[in-house]
Amino acid sequence: MTAETNTDWSIITRATAPTDEQVRDILALATAAEAADGNPPLSEQTLVDLRSSAASLWLALAYLADSDADGATEPGAELVGAAVAVLPQNTDSPDALGTLELVVHPSFRNDGIGSAMADVLAAQADLSGLQAWSHGNHAGAARLAERHGLSQVRELWRMRLTGHDELPTPAFPTGVKLRTFMPGHDDHKWLAANAAAFAHHPEQGSMTLADLQARMDEDWFDPDGFFLAVNMNDEIQGFHWTKVHPASADATGEHAAIGEVYVVGVVPTAQGTGLGKALTIAGINHLRTLELHGVMLYVDADNEAAVALYEKLGFTRWDVDVMYARNA
């Protein structure tokens, strides 16, 4: 652990899991940034990894107080910036990629804190294989990425459905029925189906039992909104996991609760049967029974088939996240 000190703030680096107090400070910082920007600055998986002793992390934390070489800060020191590098677990696999995310408190931006945290991490850890997310595609993030030789490699759209037009009746393939997820019974079966459905998706397809359990431990988890399409042998053919975001407030005002098409997946043997569309509609219909403001989802901009489906269902582009990386 080392520290770099500026006149107004100090940066501490840490190559181990954060303390409980540091996790609380990071979450509070992320909440403040989301309230100002309308976008969460840290992805859900990063939040899971911050709480996991098994994750391989490098942290740079900026405090409004002097700190010593052991990372001690003055009592009550305010955390004003955090950079979180989640290193890949399997370094032997070319598909094993880590992520880098960075957040600066809205009241302390344009003071060089973000650049300083990135510089400190780059000097101490190998960040060459990491992908950096910019949630909301901020101009400052684009400038920082360019400075470190990163270019845009992925665009993730947020799309939103706010109307209440009637959707087509979900048409499930013959022999396939819908039921809800049973915690403790379906865990391993769902993980296998998820890995098969997202074999070419490095983030979703690599979900572990610990990752699943962490999400089931969250307040938002509701098995009644986690739908499985199973065949006559109760084998999972596809799934639609929905999520509800509670009412919130940011710089633009109060926001009503909104539902999310959290994850929709179909195993390879059931793809091309219309199951994905049927599952999507079934999940949206469930969210609509909860009298939410609307429904949102994330989709890769280059997934033309998925974007076309969502547009037909009435979704429109709402916002965008951008991933930066070094070109191979």
- Per residue in 20-50, pLDDT (tens digit) is 999 999 999 999 999 888 889 999 989 989 9
Render pLDDT for 198-234 as a digit per residue (tens, 0 to 9): 998 867 878 899 999 999 999 999 999 999 999 999 9
Q: Which residue has the tokens 């600055």?
A: 41
Domain boundary residue, one of 149, 184, 200: 149
Q: Phi and psi for 235 in degrees, rounded to 5?
A: -90, 135
Domain boundary residue, one of 101, 130, 149: 149
Domain boundary residue, one of 149, 168, 196: 149
CA of 96: how far to CAs of 88, 178, 253, in Å?
Answer: 5, 34, 40
- Local structure of 190: helix, strand or coil: helix
With beta carbons less than 8 A apart as the criterion, state whether 204 and 241 touch. no
Q: Concatenate the DSSP letters of all residues of 21-77 into one string.
A: HHHHHHHHHHHHHHHHHSS-SS-HHHHHHHT-TTS-EEEEEEESS-B-TT--B-TTP
Question: In total, how many domains does the chain have?
Answer: 2
Quick check: is 197 in a domain? yes
CATH number, domain with residue 45: 3.40.630.30
- Are residues 144 and 256 part of one domain? no
The pLDDT, as a whole number, for residue 129 is 74
Render pLDDT for 231-245 as a digit per residue (tens, 0 to 9): 999 999 999 999 999
Please enumerate in sequence order all residues whose Cβ is within 8 A of that of 17, keeping only pairs 6 or more positions apart, or say none: 50, 52, 53, 55, 57
User: pTM (2 decimals)?
Assistant: 0.82
With beta carbons less than 8 A apart as the criterion, state whether 155 and 300 touch. yes
Place 143 in a pLDDT band, splitting at 50, 70 and 90: confident
β-strands 57-63, 10-14 pairing: antiparallel
- Are residues 308 and 176 part of one domain? yes
- Are residues 167 and 140 part of one domain? no
d(CA 57, CA 49): 8
**With 90 as the cut, is the pLDDT of residue 301 above it?**
yes
d(CA 223, CA 160): 23
With beta carbons less than 8 A apart as the criterion, state whether 84 and 42 touch. yes
Q: Phi and psi for 323 in degrees, rounded to 5?
A: -105, 135
- Are residues 203 and 76 part of one domain? no
139-147 and 113-124 helices, crossing angle to 10°: 30
Which range marks the domain in which residue 300 is found? 159-320
- Are residues 208 and 104 part of one domain? no
Give the CA angle between residues 212, 259, 178 to the nearest 5°. Answer: 65
- Are residues 117 and 220 part of one domain? no
Taking the mean position of all CA atoms in its chain, how far away is CA 160?
A: 17
